[in-house]
Structure 1
Amino acid sequence: MKITILASGSKGNSVYVEGEDGALLIDAGLSAKEIRTRLAAAGGDEEAVRAILVTHEHIDHLRGVDVLARRFGVPVVGTGGTLGAFLDKRTSAKPVETVRATYGETLALGNFSVTPFATVHDASEPCGFCVREDGIGFGCCLDTGIVTPGIERALGTCDAVVLESNHCPQMLEEGPYPYYLKERIRSKRGHLSNTAAATCLGDIGGNLSAVFLAHLSEVNNTPEKAVAAAESGLGLYLDDTDLVVSGQHEISRPVIL
C-alpha cells in the first residue's frame, strides 16, 4: 500500500491510497481539475480509483467530489449524515452513486476493506477511515476537536496514520483570529492541537511505521512546531517511525507500507 497526501489544509484536503489492485481517494477538497493535476504529478492512476471516501461535508473536503466521482465512474462513500449534506449541496442534476457507511461496519471496495470510525467535529456525522489490504492497515483522522478512546482504538490497529495536527495553542491564542473563531477551533468539535495529536501518537506509536501530520494551520501553526510536538509524543518510538508533514501547496512524499 502506498499513501500520498495530495493536499492538506484549510483550503483543501485529499489523500491518495494505492493498493495492489486499485486505489482510493479520501476527500477531494480541491477542484476536480487540481486534484487530477496533483494525482498525475504523484504518479497516481485515475482509472485505478475505486471510490471516493468523504470524511465530512465541509467544502475543503468536498469541493471536487461530485465532478470526480462522475468522471471516474465511482461511488461516493460516507456516513448517512455526510451523504445527506453532500446531496443537498449538489448543483448538478447528473446522477452520482453513493454508498452509505456506518461507524464500525466494514465495507468491501475492490480489494480494500474500509471501516469508518466516529470523529468529533462541527459537521453532520463526521468520520475517519481505516483502510486495509493484504494485512496492512492505514488510518485517516482529519478534522476532529478531540481524540476519543474510539479514535485511538481505530488508529491503534493501523500500520500508518494521517492525523490532524492543526494548531499550536499559544499561536492560536495570540494570533489574529477573532474570538469566536478561536473558540470554534479549540472546542471539542473544532480542530486538533499539536499537543493533543502528540498525546495520541504517544498512546498508539508503538504500532506505527509512518505518521503523516495533516491539516496544519498556515496562521496558527508551523511545520517545525507540529514536528517537535509529534517527536515528543512518539518518544522512544520515533526512531522506528517515518514522520511526514503534509502541506497545503505541495504533494507529500509517498510512504510505502
Structure 2
Amino acid sequence: MGLRFTVLASGSTGNATIVQGNGATVMVDAGLSARKLEALMAERGVAGHHLDALLVTHEHSDHIKGLGAIARKYGLRVFANEATWNAMERQVGQIEPEKRVVIETGETIDFGGMKVQSYPISHDAAEPVGFCFYEDGEKLSLATDLGYVSDKVKHQIEDSDVLVLEANHDTEMLRMGRYPWNIKRRILGDTGHLSNVAAGEALCELLTDRTKRVYLAHLSLDHNLHDLARLTVIQQLEDRGIFFKKDEIPLRDTYHDRPTPWDEVRRR
C-alpha cells in the first residue's frame, strides 16, 4: 500500500493529520471538536471506526480539543509520553486504562509494518514531540510547533520523502500585529513557532534529491499568508543557490478549515 496522508486541519484553530500505511490508519493530534473532526475525515472517506490509534504531539488545546471525545466514542488507543499525559489528563477526561498508552520520546511504535517514531522538539509544552513515519523505505515527517529547528531535529527529519514543516508567521506581520507583546515574544522565542524565514533556512539543509514534497503547515491566520509563506521559503532557497523550475517546486499548502488531498508518499 505505501504511506499516504491527509492534513485534516493545520493552524492555531486546530490540528489533525491522518496517516495510513500497511492497513493501519492513525490520527496525529485531534485539535478540533469531535464533530468537526468527523466531518473533515468524511471529506476524505475516513470514518472514526477506521482509526487504529491517536498519537499526541503535545497538550495544547489546538492539538487535543477533540481527543477525549473521539477516543471514547470509537474506543481508540491514545499514545503519548508520560509528561504529556500528565499535562493533558484533565482536559481530555477519562480514558480507559487499557487505551492509555505511555510511550517514551524516541520510541518506535509498529502498526502492522508502518513504523512511527517520536522525537523531541522545542516548544512551550511539557514534553512536545514530532513524528516520523516509515514503511517500505518511505519516510514521512511531521514537524510543527517548533521554536527552532535544532541539529537533532534536522538529523531526525532529514532524508524524508515528504515533510510537513511549520511556517507559522511572517516576522514583520507578527511584530506589527494586534497581539500583546508577551504573546509575540512567546511566538518569536526558541520555544514558540517557526517563521517563514526559519522554515526556509531549515529547508536549505533538508532538501535532497529524495525530497518529493514539502507542506507548509500551522500558518497563522493573523500573521501569514499562503503566498507569502511560499515566496519567503523560495527566496531563502534561491539566496543559497537552490533553484527549482516553476513546476518542480515541491511546496504545498495546508489549511485551517479543510483537508489536503490524499498524498501517496511514494508519488513523485
Distance 1:166 1:147, change over 3 A: same
Structure 2 unaligned runs (5+)?
A: none
Asked if 1:215 is matched to 2:223, the reply is no
CA distance in 2, matches of 1:233, 1:133: 31
- Matched residue type, 2:255: G
The 5-angstrom pairing of residues 43-122 of structure 1 reads: 43-92=45-94, 97-122=99-124
| 1:166 matched residue in structure 2 | 168
| 1:34 matched residue in structure 2 | 36
Post-superposition shift, 1:214? Answer: 0.7
Distance 1:197 1:102, change over 3 A: same
Asked if 1:202 is matched to 2:204, the reply is yes
| 1:16 matched residue in structure 2 | 18
CA distance in 2, matches of 1:184, 1:209: 33
For 2:255, which of 238, 247, 255 is the aligned residue? 247
CA distance in 2, matches of 1:248, 1:90: 22
When the two structures are superposed, what TM-score results if normalisation uses the length of structure 2? 0.90
- Matched residue type, 1:99: V
SS for the counterpart of 1:99 is strand
When the two structures are superposed, what TM-score results if normalisation uses the length of structure 1? 0.94
- Matched residue type, 1:69: A
Post-superposition shift, 1:55? Answer: 0.5
Q: 1:66, 1:96 within 8 Å by CA — same for their partners in 2?
A: no
How many residues are paired up? 257
Identity %: 34
CA distance in 2, matches of 1:220, 1:185: 11
Deviations 1:196-219 (A, max 9, x none): 111111111113111111110011
Post-superposition shift, 1:42? Answer: 1.4
- Matched residue type, 1:218: L
Q: Which moved more, 1:157-166 or 1:37-46?
A: 37-46
CA distance in 1, matches of 2:143, 2:182: 25
The 5-angstrom pairing of residues 121-140 of structure 1 reads: 121-140=123-142
Q: 1:51, 1:76 within 8 Å by CA — same for their partners in 2?
A: yes
